[in-house]
């Protein structure tokens, strides 16, 4: 795919889960390295994970994602992104309600017939934990 497609994909996280899910093949591998989470060929489980990014009360909390770099083609690509969140509650077991954090991450993604068949993401948790006062 390309940078524009990556920005479109990441823009769906906040409130367009149905549209986001339509981008995935029935046969896929998903991994979030930080959460030690792996989902294979289970769109319902993937939907449940993604629904955690949907904010019901946007005045109290939000998730903002932005892709700023892309390398690859329409079969395999890698993109870097930022994630800014205003937290509604605890995050990773740390009190976070009302606090704003920002970090970077990278996703490797593969496609077949225009559908996502591979997604692996890792993000830098240290800045988030520092911004929440959990580490110095």
Query: Within 10 Å of residue 102's Cβ, how many Cβ atoms?
Result: 12
pLDDT at position 58, please?
A: 65
pLDDT at position 52, please?
A: 80
pLDDT at position 13, please?
A: 81
Q: Can you give the pTM of this predicted structure?
A: 0.89
Report in angstroms the alpha-carbon separations of 34 from 8, 23, 111.
Answer: 23, 23, 23
Listed by start position, the domains of the chain span: 3-131
Q: Which CATH architecture has domain 3-131?
A: Roll (3.10)
Of 42, 23, 38, the closest CA to residue 115 belongs to 23
The series of mean pLDDT values per 10 residues for the chain, 136 residues long, is 92 87 97 96 95 76 92 95 92 91 97 97 95 93
pLDDT at position 59, please?
A: 75
């Amino acid at each position: 795919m390309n940078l524009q497609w990556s920005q479109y994909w990441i823009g769906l996280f906040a409130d367009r889960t149905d549209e986001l899910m339509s981008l995935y093949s029935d046969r896929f591998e998903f991994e979030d390295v930080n959460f030690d989470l792996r989902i294979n060929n289970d769109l319902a489980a993937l939907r449940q994970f993604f629904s955690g990014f949907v904010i019901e009360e946007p005045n109290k909390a939000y998730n903002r994602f932005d892709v700023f770099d892309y390398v690859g083609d329409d079969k395999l690509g890698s993109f870097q992104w930022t994630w800014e969140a205003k937290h509604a509650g605890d995050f990773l077991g740390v009190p976070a309600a009302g606090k704003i954090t920002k970090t970077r991450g990278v996703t490797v993604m593969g496609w077949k017939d225009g559908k996502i068949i591979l997604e692996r993401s890792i993000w830098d948790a240290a800045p988030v934990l520092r911004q929440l006062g959990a580490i110095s």
